[in-house]
Amino acid sequence: MAEERPLARVTCTAPVNIAVIKYWGKRDNDLILPINSSLSVTLHQDQLKTTTTAAASRDFAEDRLWLNGEEADVGHPRLQACLREVSALARLYGAAGEPSEQGQPSEQGQPSEQGQPSEQGQLSEVARRGSGSACRSMMGGFVQWQRGERPDGRDSIARQVAPETHWPELRVLILVVSGEKKQVGSTAGMQTSVDTSPLLKHRAEVVVPERLALMTRHIRERDFEGFGKLTMQDSNQFHATCLDTFPPIFYLNDISRQIIALAHRFNAHHGHTKVAYTFDAGPNAVIFTLADSVAEFVEVVRRSFPPAINGDRFVRGLPVGSASLPGELLAAVVTEPVPGGIQYILHTKPGPGPQLVDDPSQHLLGADGLPRRSP
């Protein structure tokens, strides 16, 4: 009987990120290269994360993938691109994580070939090949995905603008409106926008470069007024480019638009920006605010969109205190309630990048390389 060779297993968790300066449109579909840079906030993994176990053995005859317990097709071009990039990095750095002779680092800790990104940059490049915005999740806090100029995409990588500890008062509320699959997928929507929207071209070439510099300054200065206003403006313009696409793309629904109006009434009542919304390619709202405004705004949302079911689990994640709303605020901000308009609220904050899981019992794959059965 042939002796089995050792199986290597590694488990990591990775966070979700929410863009405040949006990415929409590719200049290269195969390499997943964007037409503009973008900037996002990495959310804390205590509330939202993915867990992945990778197993490697010379005895494996083929690549296999399981997603949420179901085996998935490994032939997708993006997945294959990621596997090729991971294999290349494994050959470069070796099993122990040290650079091989073919890729000795320079004094700066980078492979000696001129122009190569750092190891962290290389990992963000791998993530980008799977899904563009995923590269921003390779770091915590506030992260910019650089558009890059090189045709091979080696300079289209993520870099951290500020760590998750930089702005400890910042909070995030995810208002879940719908979990249904969107009618127009992001990949198809982007391509149609690139082909048909003059506004998107102007946004990428003129608007975004100015906004990135301004947003970076707001983050570094912890200026919520500037950060919040610009976040809302950029979300609005992203969805304007979707409307400028032909045929137009509608990602927001009636509840989304009511949340936008609610946020503006709330801010107008207080006389400054206390909450800021942003919407990706879907109807769910992400609200940025500061810790001292969370309880009041959550109560405003609860009054505006009374939970139809699961009232006791309407607010999840980080604890939220109670708040009594003054009569003048209710009169100015809460209009006709829409019961069940929001399924639930998830309360979180900025968090770190991917984490290595040291506990072997947390591996999703067993010693045979196959998914572990649930107890």
Q: Does residue 155 sit in the same domain as residue 174? A: no
- As given in the structure block, the two tokens for residue 206 are 């003129």
- CATH value at residue 183: 3.30.70.890
Residue 368 lies in a domain: no
**Does residue 230 share a domain with residue 137?**
no
Is 250 a domain residue?
yes
**369 lies in a domain?**
no
Domain membership flag for residue 372: no
Three-state SS at 35 = coil
Q: What is the pLDDT of residue 230?
A: 98
Q: Give the domain extent around 182.
A: 170-348
Q: Report whether 34 contacts 156 (CB < 8 A).
A: yes
187 and 261 co-located in one domain: yes
Question: Do 14 and 93 fall within a single domain?
Answer: yes
Does residue 148 share a domain with residue 32? yes
Same domain as 180, residue 145:
no
Domain membership flag for residue 69: yes
Q: Hey, what are 341's tokens?
A: 């308009």
Residues 315, 188 share a domain: yes
Q: Give domain status of residue 105, yes or no.
A: yes
**Count of the separate structural domains present in the chain:** 2
**Gap between the Cα atoms of 244 and 259, Å rounded:** 22
CATH of the domain at 113: 3.30.230.10
Q: Is residue 178 located within the same domain as residue 150?
A: no
255 and 224 assigned to the same domain: yes
Alpha carbons 271 and 39: distance in angstroms, whole number: 27
Full-model pTM? 0.90
Evaluate whether residue 294 is within a structural domain. Answer: yes
* Residue 128 sits in the same domain as residue 175: no
Q: What is the pLDDT along the chain (375 residues), one digit of tens a residue?
A: 345 566 899 999 999 999 999 999 999 999 999 999 999 999 999 999 999 999 988 888 889 999 988 999 988 888 888 888 888 887 777 654 544 433 333 232 233 333 445 666 678 888 898 888 999 999 999 999 999 999 999 999 999 999 999 999 999 999 999 988 888 899 999 999 999 999 999 999 999 999 999 999 999 999 999 999 999 999 999 999 999 999 999 999 999 999 999 999 999 999 999 999 999 999 999 999 999 999 999 999 999 999 987 678 999 999 999 999 999 999 999 999 999 999 999 999 999 999 999 999 999 999 889 998 765
| Count of CB atoms situated within 10 Å of the CB of 36 | 21
Please tell me the predicted confidence (pLDDT) of residue 117.
54
Give a yes or no: residue 94 inside a domain. Answer: yes
Are both 138 and 175 inside the same structural domain?
no
